[in-house]
Amino acid sequence: MHARTDAPPIRPARAVLLLLALVAALLAAAVPAAGPAHAAVPDRWGFAFLDNPTPPPGYVPDTTRQWGSWTTPASNPVKVDQVALGSYVVHFPLIGGPGGIAHATAVNRTGTWCQIKGWTTVGTGQDVSVACYKPTGTPDNSPFTVLYTTSSGTPAPPGGDYGYVHSTITGALVTQYNSAGGANVVSHGSTGIWKAWLPGLGLATNVGNVEVTAVDAVQGARCKVADWAPAATGQTFVVACFDAANAPYDTRWTLSYSVKRAVHGPAFPPKSFGYLWYNGSVPPGTNFNSVGATNTLAVGVPSTVTLPGVAVASDTAQFTAFGGGPGWCNLALPWTRTSGTVKLNPLCFNPGGTPVAAPFLTAYTSAF
């Protein structure tokens, strides 16, 4: 599943300069022509929040922050087993099957990040493996959010766009989905750099939300959205991945893109979801609240994202860092719900693991 290129190692300082140049080059490069694809709202999905970083065997995590598409999820909960230091298997019942993608976000103030190791069908369920690492790259226990989702077919009204990819190191796609029916394309640039093209989705301006997660069963890896170029014909994203030494690193990764849809794909229901992108400002089309309220951002260390009117259990959130360097973002603590308002606290880190205010993308959704 995992392999390294034969390219010589790149020193972190030089790697950042190369990355910025490569981002510009990749965005200017010609996009491969799209071919046919199977294309909606998710066929199978589940999410959970591991609230105990050292769970006993068969642990049932916070029941107000887990749900899924299987029958009676309230009485048939998600379970988590810890298999090693910083390594977990999340058991989603009754949604086993091929394809799909997974995302994970660490929940802590220490800079430990979490990634996906892989996922597989076990019996009738879907097992998603999650690994967490200290900024030094050594395994570490941490709370985290995790979701799995898979889609096919034609979207049902109401509208909104949705697409995803699970990319190999070379850019070959393990699985993909595009609600417009196009074929997503990924191309590999230099070490740790890819360009993803999602045709027919979005607008000529930045709208919607993007989430990216590293998928690596061998060692610690962090992936982020390095740049985003919108067009009327589709969306181009540059994905950058790094190892614990902050050097560009080749690994698998997942990306999902949604416009007026929840982070796992559906639209209305759930009635309660929202997203926000901070890139130094908040582009209007990337600040969405499903009940028509106005989301607000207070930039800090950590920042505070407030989404009025959408706080409904069960719910989840995901975060992704944005920009050209090897920094990353977590959720500082579990989100809160007060009188229908949810508050999220993104906490970002510089390459040395020090908390800083930095650009990020966040998505929140309830199950209903």
In three state form, how does the secondary structure of 152-202 look? CCCCCCCCCEEEEEEECCCCCEEEEEECCCCCCEEEECCCCEEEEEEECCC
Q: Indicate if 240 and 282 belong to the same structural domain.
A: no
Q: Under DSSP, is residue 257 helix (H, G, I), strand (E, B) or coil? A: strand
Q: Indicate if 314 and 204 belong to the same structural domain.
A: no
Q: Residue 225: its pLDDT value, please?
A: 98
**CA separation for the pair 43, 150 (Å, rounded):** 6
Domain that holds residue 78: 1-268
Bridge partners (DSSP) listed for residue 48: 146
Q: Indicate if 207 and 256 belong to the same structural domain.
A: yes
Q: Residue 102: its pLDDT value, please?
A: 99
pTM for this prediction: 0.90
Q: Residue 19: its pLDDT value, please?
A: 45
Q: Residue 156: its pLDDT value, please?
A: 73
pLDDT (tens digit per residue) in 170-221: 999 999 999 999 999 999 999 999 999 999 999 999 999 999 999 999 999 9
Q: Residue 28: its pLDDT value, please?
A: 42
Q: Under DSSP, is residue 284 helix (H, G, I), strand (E, B) or coil? A: helix
Q: Indicate if 233 and 302 belong to the same structural domain.
A: no
Question: Taking the C-alpha atoms of 335, 336, 337 and 339 in order, what is their torsion angle to the nearest 10 degrees?
Answer: -140
Q: Indicate if 263 and 329 belong to the same structural domain.
A: no
Distance of CA 258 to the CA centre of its chain: 11
Q: Indicate if 305 and 339 belong to the same structural domain.
A: yes
**CA separation for the pair 245, 265 (Å, rounded):** 34
List of the chain residues with pLDDT < 70 = 1-40
Q: Indicate the residue among 268, 302, 333 that finishes a domain.
A: 268
Q: Indicate if 259 and 313 belong to the same structural domain.
A: no
Q: Indicate if 360 and 227 belong to the same structural domain.
A: no
Q: Indicate if 47 and 182 belong to the same structural domain.
A: yes
Q: Residue 24: its pLDDT value, please?
A: 42
Q: Indicate if 219 and 296 belong to the same structural domain.
A: no
Q: How many CB atoms lie within 10 A of CB 159?
A: 12
> What is the count of structural domains for the chain?
2
Q: Indicate the residue among 207, 233, 268 that finishes a domain.
A: 268
Percent of all residues in the chain with a pLDDT value above 70, rounded to a whole number: 89
Q: Indicate if 186 and 95 belong to the same structural domain.
A: yes
Give the DSSP letter of residue 246.
S
The residue to which tokens 């990353």 are assigned:
328
Q: Residue 157: its pLDDT value, please?
A: 75
Q: Indicate the residue among 204, 239, 268 that finishes a domain.
A: 268
Q: Residue 40: its pLDDT value, please?
A: 45
pLDDT (tens digit per residue) in 317-356: 999 999 999 999 999 999 999 999 999 999 999 999 999 9
Q: Indicate if 53 and 185 belong to the same structural domain.
A: yes
DSSP assignment of 12-81: HHHHHHHHHHHHHHHHHSPPPPP-------EEEEEEEEE--SSPPTTB---GGG-EESSS-TTTS--EEE
